[in-house]
Amino acid sequence: MSGIVIVGAGPAGIAAAVTAAQSGAEVAVFDDNPAVGGQIWRAGHSNQWIQRLSQSRARVITSARIVSGDAARQTLLVDTNGQAEEISYAKLILATGARELFLPFPGWTLPNVMGVGGLQALVKSGLLVKGKRIVVAGSGPLLLAVASYLRKCGAGISLIAEQAGLKSLAAFAVSLAAHPAKLRQAAGLLPRRYLTNCWIEAALGSERVERVRLRQGSRVWEEPCDYVANAYGLVANTELAALLGCAVENGVVKVDSSQQTSVANIYCAGESAGIGGVDTALLEGQIAAGASELQPKLHKAKSFARLLNQTFRPRAELRALPQPGTIVCRCEDVTLQRLRSTDSWRSAKLHERCGMGPCQGRICGPAIQFILGWEPASVRPPLFPTRLENLVQENSVK
């Protein structure tokens, strides 16, 4: 096939697909989830954009992972339920989204300690939390949104621990005067116990988490809980873009005003081009598909995104949370002590197998970059686990 290929069916990918299909182009959308919507609009969620996608001429292929690609040949290797197919494109739009940033602390590997979005996804998939005590911690507006959702599902939100300081949050709130809808939304989500300048120092328990140790300035105390939802914002998924040779700067894919990357015929939209939220992602997706008249609106949306990222940037004190015996790479059980016996990301991979497990460094990589300042190693195929015969097949075609 050729035409326009879009990787990712979250807000940016959906907006790009709808806009491109309206122009009469041949459009195919690939997403690794069972249904469209991405992390923000999960299966079962319906809105105008998802309805517009279903009514468009765009072809949507779910449960499909891009495991490799070749920008020179303008091809991608797609694995769908274990079966690989090489597809070609005339124009590629990357809308690969983002994942949560996890910063390790003692006890973070205990059962029932999970990501903010991860717990929300489990609840949406059927996990019962009615009557459960939940501590929500980390940083960013997602804490409020998820806490509100869990509360509606019957959970008891013990507290929200936001690591950002009150002064920064106050300045952020003042800036929301230019975005009244967002201000009203945030105010409506605030719970009774919303603690600023506060974070989890450790999760405690035997077979599962039973309580957490919290710090707020000089005050340290323990809070009983059944679940912990913890994350420090988002990390852009840039692996596919990097594999295809696109420039990546400051952790996001570099794009111009039309969302084109440094590689011809490859565009990028949404969180992978900069963490900015749903409104920004929708605008970028449409612009990447050719709606250049929306660029003035995007400029305003991006100013809000910059303020958002500046306000909720993880504080330096969080680097001291993991102890020598704290596991940092969960796939390969690599502790901080073992990491400190090496001197770089490459050395840690070679000598300690850090980042060599199923997640391929997606979880531990950003944490290690934050704690130790190591830049991640270069990206190599396959991006996701796939059959060896699929890679052999791809190489035989080249």
CATH topology (fold) of 4-99+235-308: FAD/NAD(P)-binding domain (3.50.50)
The string of pLDDT tens digits covering residues 76-93 is 999 998 888 999 999 999
**Selected residue with higher pLDDT from 206 and 2:** 206
The predicted pLDDT at position 375 comes to 86
The predicted pLDDT at position 302 comes to 84
The predicted pLDDT at position 366 comes to 95
Section 180-191 average pLDDT:
62
pLDDT > 60? residue 278: yes
Stated pTM of the model: 0.91
pLDDT > 80? residue 2: no
Cα dihedral: 130, 133, 137, 140 (round 10)? 30
Domain 4-99+235-308 and domain 102-232, same fold? Reply is yes
Return the CATH number of the domain spanning residue range 102-232. 3.50.50.60
Question: What DSSP character marks residue 271?
Answer: G
The string of pLDDT tens digits covering residues 349-388 is 999 999 988 888 999 999 999 999 998 877 888 888 777 7
- Could you state, in order of their start, the residue ranges of all structural domains in the chain? 4-99+235-308, 102-232, 318-398
Q: How far apart (Å, rounded) are the C-alpha atoms in residues 217 and 124?
A: 35
Q: At what angle do helices 116-124 and 142-152 cross, to 10 degrees?
A: 30
Q: Alpha helix (H) ranges present in the chain?
A: 11-22, 48-55, 116-124, 142-152, 166-175, 180-189, 239-243, 278-288, 295-311, 336-340, 345-352, 364-372, 388-397
The string of pLDDT tens digits covering residues 294-335 is 999 998 888 878 888 889 999 999 999 999 999 999 999 999
